[in-house]
Chain A
């Protein structure tokens, strides 16, 4: 059986590592209460403090007294095995399909497409996500921009659909709620 592609990325917290996995590997998001086999044992004992699933990552924080250089290889093996049983991951709270859609949209907006929009003063925020339909506010430089429709469909929607294949529709709200200031001067970027 071929393994699920994954690799670790450091975070600002030395105890926490982001394990990047393909979108759609796990049907859950958020805090994990129960994981299969060895990973579950590590989470149950004092090895792993917490596991949080994102659309494209599993964020694992080790308990104090454990280091990635020490138990990292064991966690990797356990995670690799656990990813083959996506149905046996239990979230801490109830996870609805709406939560998955919202997490997927958040992942898109935090990623390279969001970077691109922010790079020229655009602002896109989540307005709603339910019943396989999502809605975003497009403000800043996006307001009244003739290319906003292209960004919405060619970039945002295709990225979202890659993470949430059951998507029915992605819309932009007509009224963005507040008037956009001269945001075309700001060139904010998400720090990597």
Chain B
């Protein structure tokens, strides 16, 4: 083959196949987004649904939310083809489930591909009755310290962000007020938000864990006293609300630093997903972040549209997991505090 012919052949090859090599992976494709919760009224679904609408726009794909629950979502990410057409949007429970022992190590972050962060929810919180003898979790600590016979029953779910909220408070109590005061906390197993509300109304719990927006209506003027709630501890600052008892502002710390914890919602893909797929998601998420309508949709629900690229998100979530692992080493098994 002459040199000229060889060059011509190479040029022809490049000309013919370049469009395929550069073709968008998601363009016109059907995409399944599994969500680690079955509740369509919870933050997992709401964030995923908002993000889904913008991914459809910027990836030009036909994507569908599938709120299958944590168990099914994790199993799906382990077994789905690594082509990017199935991915999960979920929050910190992805690694907390493994740290708390609810899920096996086969579901570890190392066995998934970390995609970009798509949003945050700062509203994880504890709420109690308005007639409780404490206004916030700082006062609760003082109230417990004043009488060793007093107890506070906190309703949380095992292996979840609420479990973490409990543990962080326990460790802080132990380090600040002593182990005896910390052991005056009682763990009550909760469930969905409505189950926890009923536990509070039935007097089977004193404080329940939930989401800021889910509890909001119960904290307003005019609500019947039996139903009324008060926020006693919010894990991060809510934009526009300076009157709330935020963990870090109350002096509650984790690893010696004031704690501000938001739930981080990331895209998780099956192990082996090619880099070009993740790069395309990064690009779409960056466009989404710059879209003012996306920011408005997120803030309307009291969520934050703070995104990170997959590389930044991976470093961030690994560091977050390591910090939490350290705290868990100091905490007792929550079930021993029943």
**Do A and B assemble together?**
no
Footprint of B on A, CB under 8 Å? none
